[in-house]
Amino acid sequence: MINVAILGFGTVGSGVAEVLTTNGALIDQRVGDKIRLKYIVDIRDFPDSPYRDLFEKDFSVVEADPEVDVVVETIGGCKIALEFTTRALKAGKSVVTSNKELVATHGYELLQLAKEHGCNYLFEASVGGGIPVLRPMSNCLASNQIEEVTGILNGTTNYILTRMIQAGLSFDQALKEAQANGYAEQDPTADVDGHDACRKTCILAALAFGQQIYPEQVPTQGIRNVTLEDVAYADSCGYKIKLLGRCMQTQEGKVCAFTAPHLVEGKNPLAGVEDVFNAIAIHGNAVGDVMFYGPGAGKLPTASAVVADIIDLAKDPNRDRRNAWGPGAADLVVSPDGLTSRWYVRAQMSMERARAAFQDLQPLARSGAPVGEVAFLTGAMTEPELRQRLQDVKTGSVLRVLA
C-alpha cells in the first residue's frame, strides 16, 4: 500500500484527488499495489466534499505519520509550500508538485535535500500542465546535447491571445474567460506579466543545461502591452503573436534565457498552438527538432501529470530519479541582447523616416490605422542595434520575430 497526502485542495489538488479516485482501479492494476489517498491538508473546511473524512488542518500529522510515502504539494508559492516540502523531504517522504515557482526558485536545494534523505522530488506537472515533457526531455532525449528550447508555456496568456485574434475580444474580456475556466494563477499578473512562463523557462533550462537558472536571471516581458492593433498587423503578414519562453546554450557554455511575446510565422507549428494549449519545441544535436504539445493548464490535465509522478514513485519508491541539476551561478546566464533576429515595430513616425533607418524593412498595413502610425518588419539585427536606429522614436510596440 502506497499512502498519499495532498497539501492544498485548490484546482490542482482537487483534480489529483479526482483522478486518483476515478482511475483508482486502473492505476492500482498498473502499479501492482494499492495507492491510497490518506490525507488532504488544507486550512479551509470542505464539509460537503466526498473526501471530507480525509481532511486534516495540521501538516505535522502527515509529517509524523510513517505510513505516508508520497506528499503532493499543490499549495503554490514559495512560503508554506517551501516549509512543508522541506519538512516532508527531511522526513524521507517523496514530494510531487505542480508548483513551478518553488521548483524554479528552490529546485537545486530541494533536489539536494531529497537526495540526502533517500527520497525524490518530482515535478512533471510544473511545466506544460498535462504535457509529458520533463521526463521525455531527460530520458528519451538523454543521448542529445540540448541546444535550444522554445515554448508556449502559459495557458492563460495563450488563451487570451487566441481570443483576441479569433474573437476580437479585449484583453480584459479574454482574461476573465481564462479565469472562469480555472487556468489562471491566483494572482493573474503572474500569467499576464510573464512570470509564470519565466519560471517554466527556468525549469526547462535547468534540466536542459544542468544548472539552476533563477527567475531573476531571466529577462521577462508579458503580454500586457500587446494590442489588437499588433494582432492585426501580425495577421496581415501571416504571423501570430505568442508569448515564448526561450533558452539556449551559447558557444561559450553560458545560457541565454528570456521570456517575451514574439511574432511567429504561420508555418511554424508553434503558431497553430491555440487556446489553453502549450507546446515545447526542443532542438537536440542528434534528434533535431521535436515538439511536445497538449493542454498547458486546467484541473484534470495538470492532475494527470501529478498522478503520473505518484505512479512512477509507487512502482519504485526509493530509486534515485537523477533529475537533479547543479547549483546556479551569477555569471551563468547572458543577456539576449547579443541575439540577432528580425523585429516587428509599430511606431509614430513617417514611412520615409522608417525607410531611412531600416533599408530592408517590410511595411505592414491594417484597416483603420491612424495618421502617423507605421508598422513594419525589420531585417535581422540585435536589440541594441534596433534601439539605436529607432533612437527617440515613440514606439507603440517592439516585438522579436521568431526565426
Give least dist CB 395 to ligand HSE, A: 28
Residue closer to ligand HSE by CB (options 243, 375) is 243
Residue closer to ligand HSE by CB (options 245, 284) is 245
Q: How far is 259 from 44, CA to CA, in rounded Å?
A: 35
User: Quick one: cell of 321?
Assistant: 530519479
200 annotated active-site: yes
The window from 42-50, 152-160, 207-215, 368-376 that contacts ligand HSE (CB under 6 A) reads 152-160
> Count of alpha carbons within 13 Å of 403, Cβ hemisphere only?
10
User: Quick one: cell of 220?
Assistant: 521577462
Give least dist CB 297 to ligand HSE, A: 4
# chain residues binding ligand HSE, by CB under 6 A? 11
Residues of span 159-178 touching ligand HSE by CB under 6 A: none
The window from 38-46, 180-188, 322-330, 354-362 that contacts ligand HSE (CB under 6 A) reads 180-188
Q: How far is 126 from 203, CA to CA, in rounded Å?
A: 8
Residue from 200, 240, 242, 299 carrying the catalytic annotation: 200
Residue closer to ligand HSE by CB (options 200, 400) is 200
Per CB under 6 A, 191 contacts ligand HSE: yes
Three-state DSSP state, 398:
strand
In whole angstroms, how far apart are CA 60 and each of 82, 99, 312?
15, 21, 25
3-state helix, strand, coil in the chain (%, to 5): 40, 25, 35
Per CB under 6 A, 297 contacts ligand HSE: yes
Give least dist CB 118 to ligand HSE, A: 29
Residue closer to ligand HSE by CB (options 15, 284) is 15
Q: How far is 397 from 381, CA to CA, in rounded Å?
A: 17
User: Quick one: cell of 263?
Assistant: 511574432
Residue closer to ligand HSE by CB (options 42, 196) is 196
DSSP 68: E
The window from 26-34, 151-159, 166-174, 344-352 that contacts ligand HSE (CB under 6 A) reads 151-159
The window from 113-121, 183-191, 311-319, 373-381 that contacts ligand HSE (CB under 6 A) reads 183-191
Residue closer to ligand HSE by CB (options 156, 397) is 156
Please name the residues in contact with 288: beta carbons below 8 A apart, sequence gap of 6 or more: none
Give least dist CB 279 to ligand HSE, A: 12
**Phi, psi at residue 95, to the nearest 5°?**
-120, 135
Cβ atoms of 345 and 397 closer than 8 Å: yes
Q: How far is 34 from 46, CA to CA, in rounded Å?
A: 25
Per CB under 6 A, 8 contacts ligand HSE: no
The H or E element spanning position 204 is: helix 195-209
Cβ atoms of 158 and 277 closer than 8 Å: yes
Per CB under 6 A, 277 contacts ligand HSE: no
Contact map string, positions 49 to 88, toward ligand HSE, x by CB under 6 A: ----------------------------------------
Among candidate residues 222, 2, 186, the one with its CA nearest the CA of residue 99: 186
Residues in the chain: 403
Residue closer to ligand HSE by CB (options 63, 274) is 274
Please name the residues in contact with 235: beta carbons below 8 A apart, sequence gap of 6 or more: 165
Q: How far is 31 from 66, CA to CA, in rounded Å?
A: 21
Per CB under 6 A, 154 contacts ligand HSE: yes
Q: Which residue has the cell 499543490?
A: 74
The window from 104-112, 115-123, 179-187, 248-256 that contacts ligand HSE (CB under 6 A) reads 179-187
Per CB under 6 A, 156 contacts ligand HSE: yes
Per CB under 6 A, 376 contacts ligand HSE: no
Residues of span 84-143 touching ligand HSE by CB under 6 A: 129
Binding residues vs ligand HSE (CB under 6 A): 129, 154-156, 183-185, 191, 196, 296-297
Catalytic residues: 200
